[in-house]
Structure 1
């Protein structure tokens, strides 16, 4: 039986062997949610990069849209930020365009997980798509939480618990204490996910930036149940 494990932060990734695994990259607030929403809105592919300089250069060289965020706010000089709503604005259509994206936490977690056999992006918005993909692969799963600047983040861990709950009939989700703890957190959060996560430091940080609308959106389970961003060669594409 394949095993589901959970890494609380990219800082801990050196402790894990990614070879042959399915890595699920999660940054609920907000890179994962933004990537899923952008692909659902018709973006052709997403190029996640570490630095603002690389993001801007891709825009100049390829003509793609550029999006960047630091400390929860849009970086100056870029087309878009890290709010899912920016990709749903009819006044600025994104369909048919490629997107270069750099964020504080999420893109780092993804770039550092590329040694896995499969790399996908997960969030509450596409929880079922992630679970379905994991079942099809029948490989060990490592949920890689983006966290906040290397630290533990409650909402990413709760997502890992939600995925463990869905996969429990087909995966070993109890041999890892991290996965076990995440599942217990999800079971506490599930009756009212937004209310539970209002306790999170990251949520309070986001709301202080007047992004509470983003928080509510990112809590919607399976809004995009059929959208799965998967790493192929050098980009994320909808699988």
Structure 2
């Protein structure tokens, strides 16, 4: 069982996903929002590339629609891309479906469908992802959503945290400098993840959006340790 890390979906043509587990990571905020949706009792999540597709699914299936561009809620949808919009007591979501399109995360997912299995990973559901990968006994590619094709620190750190969970179970990261880098960065960050990310570009963007609560929520480890967003061939369901 080996683990590699793709720093951006733009680099996916360099990887062969066939036979592998793809772990899609967009810590701030798509995969954290998706895990929250399934924890809150939503029955399915449809990740799509464009806002228009998201809105169309809302009309066709009666889905709740969630979308952002550059972190700001897109026009014509119900909510943006904050986990807290799915936790609000006055906004019942249990039993509903969600259509979501984001700047980076849903693009990463849609470009990774050649994998044998595909799940969404975040710090808030780290244990569920690690347990699934261990049970699969396949090579793993962590697909970091990044930011508009560029490297981002938080998604890479999630790859390092996942590697740490699996190393005692025979995981090999010796052939991937990307995985080694992620693991070593995580060793520096693990004692205080929010503090380590304090200087990151992602936090600056979230502060500009007045979304510091999202930052603190998304850097909690194992808030939902049993929630696994799993691709079933057409949508994400709770695995």
TM class, shorter-chain normalised?
Answer: over 0.9
SS in 2 for 1:198: helix
SS of equivalent to 2:190:
helix
Rounded Cα–Cα distance in structure 2 between residues aligned with 1:80 and 1:42: 17
Aligned to 1:113: 112
In 2, the alpha carbon distance for the partners of 1:113 and 1:38 equals 21
Q: Aligned partners of 2:24, 2:56: CA distance in 1, in Å?
A: 25
Give the Å deviation of 1:198.
Answer: 1.2
Aligned residue number for residue 80 of structure 1: 79
Structure 1: state its 5+ residue gaps: none
Structure 1 moving runs of 4+ over 6 Å: none
How far the C-alpha of 1:62 sits from its partner, in A, is 1.2
Tell me the residue number matched to 2:24. Answer: 25
**Aligned match of 2:162:** 163
d(CA) in 2 for partners of 1:187, 1:102: 32
- Residue 10 (1) aligns with residue 5 (2): no
- Over the aligned positions, Cα root-mean-square deviation in angstroms equals 0.6
Per-residue CA deviation, residues 24-64 of structure 1 (Å, 9 max, x unaligned), is 00000000000000100011000000001111111111111
Given the two structures, how large is their TM-score scaled by the length of structure 2? 0.99
Quote the offset at 1:90 in angstroms: 0.8
Q: What's the offset of the Cα at 1:152?
A: 0.2
CA distance in 1, matches of 2:111, 2:220: 27
Q: Give structure 2 stretches of 5+ with no counterpart.
A: none
1:58-69 matches, cutoff 5 A: 58-69=57-68
TM-fit CA distance, 1:208: 1.3
- For residues 145 and 64 of structure 1, what CA distance do their matches in structure 2 show? 27
Partner residue of 2:177? 177
Q: Deviations over 1:71-102 (max 9, x none)?
A: 00111221111000000011001000000000
Aligned to 1:37: 36
Moved more, 159-168 or 197-206: 197-206
CA distance in 2, matches of 1:233, 1:109: 16
Distance 1:198 1:115 in 2: 35
CA distance in 1 between counterparts of 2:9 and 2:122 reads: 17
1:96 corresponds to: 95
Which residue in the other structure is 2:206 paired with?
206
Match of residue 54 from structure 1? 53
- Partners of 2:9 and 2:221 lie apart in 1 by 24
Q: Which residue of structure 2 lines up, in the alignment, with residue 188 of structure 1?
A: 188
The number of equivalent residue pairs is 238
Q: Which residue is 1:124 aligned to?
A: 123
* Normalised TM-score (structure 1): 0.99
Quote the offset at 1:230 in angstroms.
0.4
Name the CA distance, whole Å, in 1 between partners of 2:57 and 2:82: 20
CA–CA distance in structure 2, aligned partners of residues 153 and 174 of structure 1: 22
